[in-house]
Structure 1
C-alpha cells in the first residue's frame, strides 16, 4: 500500500464525501495512481506532501492539505504508525 492510500485510510476519506474531504480524497487518490518508486520519507504524510509538491500543486493548495493532515502528521511524529 502506498503512502497516498495509507493517508486516505487513516484520515477516513472516501469517494462519497462532500466538500473539502471529497476534494482531498480526489487529490490523494489521483496522486496515488502516479506513484513511482519507493518512499523517501518514513512519514506517509511527509511523503504525500513532497510528491504533490513535485507534481506541481500550488503553494496554497499544499498548505491547505498540510493543515488538514496536520493531526495525522502529529500522530505519526509521536510514534503512531499507519
Structure 2
C-alpha cells in the first residue's frame, strides 16, 4: 500500500484573513497567544517568587519574543532561501 494512503493532511488555508497586502496567519496568532499566556502566567508566578519581580519577568518575555522573531527570520533564510 502506498504511503499516501496512510498519511492524509487536511487542506487548511494558513491565512485566517487578509486585508489588502496584510495577511494574518494561524501560526502568528498562536505565537501571540502563547506569549500573552506566558506573560500572564509567568507574571503571576513571579509575584510569588522572592527572586523575581513582574518587571524582571516582562523584560525576559520581551527578549524571548525578540529572539523568536529574529531567530525565526534567520532560520527561514538559512533553511529555505539560502541563495
TM-score using structure 1 length:
0.27
Whose strand fraction is larger, Structure 1's or Structure 2's? Answer: 2
Bigger relative contact order, structure 1 or 2, given CA contacts below 8 A and separation 6+? Answer: 1
The structure that has the greater radius of gyration is: 2
